[in-house]
Amino acid sequence: LSKAPLSAVLLAASRRPALRRAVTGTPATRRVVDRFVAGETLDDALGAVRTLTADGIAVTLDHLGEDVTDRAQARRTRDAYLAALEALATLGLGTAAEVSVKLSAFGQGLPDGHDLALELVRPVVEAATAAGTTVTVDMEDSRTVDSTLAAVAELRKEHPGTGAVLQSMLHRTEDDAKTLAVSGSRVRLVKGAYDEPDTVAHRSRKDVAAAYARCLEILMSGPGYPMVGSHDPAMVQRAHELAAQHSRAADSWEVQMLYGIRTDEQRRLAAAGTRVRAYIPYGSDWYAYFMRRLAERPANVAFFLRSLATR
Ligand code: FDA
Would you state the torsion angle of the CA atoms of residues 173, 299, 303, 237, taken in this order, to the nearest 10 degrees? -60
Domain match, 62 and 101 both: yes
Is residue 227 within 8 Å of 277, Cβ to Cβ? yes
Digit-coded pLDDT (tens) for 173-188: 999 999 999 999 999 9
Domain match, 5 and 133 both: no
Domain match, 83 and 219 both: yes
238 an active-site residue? no
Residue 232 Cα: closest atom of ligand 1: 5
Domain match, 174 and 308 both: no
Confidence at residue 34, expressed as pLDDT on a 0 to 100 scale:
86
Residue list, ligand 1 pocket, CB within 6 Å: 138-139, 165, 167, 188, 190-194, 229-232, 235, 256-258, 261-262, 279, 293, 296-297, 300
pTM above 0.90, yes or no: yes
The CATH number that applies at residue 268 is 3.20.20.220
On whether 191 is known to bind a ligand per the annotation, the reply is yes
Domain match, 260 and 137 both: yes
Domain match, 196 and 305 both: no
Confidence at residue 147, expressed as pLDDT on a 0 to 100 scale:
98
Confidence at residue 310, expressed as pLDDT on a 0 to 100 scale:
60
On whether 192 is known to bind a ligand per the annotation, the reply is yes
Digit-coded pLDDT (tens) for 105-162: 999 999 999 999 999 999 999 999 999 999 999 999 999 999 999 999 999 999 999 9
4: pLDDT confidence band, cut at 50, 70 and 90? low
> How far is residue 136's CA from residue 210's CA, in Å, rounded to a whole number?
25
Q: Is the pLDDT of residue 305 over 80?
A: no
- What range does the domain containing 25 cover? 1-37+286-311
pLDDT averaged over every residue in the chain: 93
Digit-coded pLDDT (tens) for 227-240: 999 999 999 999 99
Confidence at residue 1, expressed as pLDDT on a 0 to 100 scale:
42
Q: Is the pLDDT of residue 2 over 60?
A: no
Domain match, 129 and 2 both: no
Q: How many domains does the chain have?
A: 2
138 an active-site residue? yes
**Mean pLDDT (whole number) for 37-60:** 96
Confidence at residue 302, expressed as pLDDT on a 0 to 100 scale:
78
Domain match, 112 and 225 both: yes
Domain match, 260 and 298 both: no
Domain match, 188 and 307 both: no
Domain match, 29 and 47 both: no
Domain match, 128 and 138 both: yes
